[in-house]
């Protein structure tokens, strides 16, 4: 005799391109796709800290101008993210920008670089 199959709770979640793109439109229009990251918001064990000393590996001139100063990174979406459903996964495209600034001792910021991602 066979034992009956065990009943396990199951959750089925479906997501369509329309739902994903509608949510992306709402978040983008509301300005919710922006994030400011400072050296204080990163874990201490993170391999790259937001300081001119760490970023100076990529830009030595930045370290010379502002020796070991904290930095801030502003990230934002330039356009609405686009999603497409494929048989294997939900794929997304995000057009963003990242602007880095050096936090000066007097409380002001000095722009360091701008990347379009």
pLDDT 10s per residue in the chain (117 long)? 566 666 777 766 666 889 899 999 999 999 999 999 988 888 888 888 888 888 877 888 888 999 989 999 999 999 999 999 888 888 999 999 999 999 999 999 999 999 998
Q: What is the pLDDT of residue 49?
A: 82
Q: Which of 6, 21, 111, 29 is nearest to 66 (CA)?
A: 111
Domain ranges of the chain: 28-42+49-116
Q: What is the pLDDT of residue 5?
A: 63
Q: Tokens for 23?
A: 């949510």
CB 62 within 8 A of CB 100: no
Cα dihedral sign for 84, 78, 26, 10? positive
Residue 34 CA to residue 48 CA, distance in Å, equals 21
Supply the pTM of this predicted model: 0.74
């Amino acid at each position: 005799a066979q034992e009956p199959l065990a009943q396990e709770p199951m959750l089925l979640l479906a997501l369509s391109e329309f739902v994903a793109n509608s949510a992306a439109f709402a978040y983008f229009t509301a300005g919710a796709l922006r994030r400011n990251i400072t050296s204080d918001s990163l874990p201490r064990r993170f391999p790259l800290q937001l300081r001119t000393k760490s970023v100076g590996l990529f830009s030595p001139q930045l370290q010379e101008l502002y020796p070991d100063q904290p930095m801030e990174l502003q990230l934002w979406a330039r356009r609405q993210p686009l999603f497409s459903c494929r048989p294997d996964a939900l794929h997304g495209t995000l057009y963003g920008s990242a602007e880095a600034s050096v936090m000066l001792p007097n409380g002001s910021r000095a722009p360091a670089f701008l990347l379009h991602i």
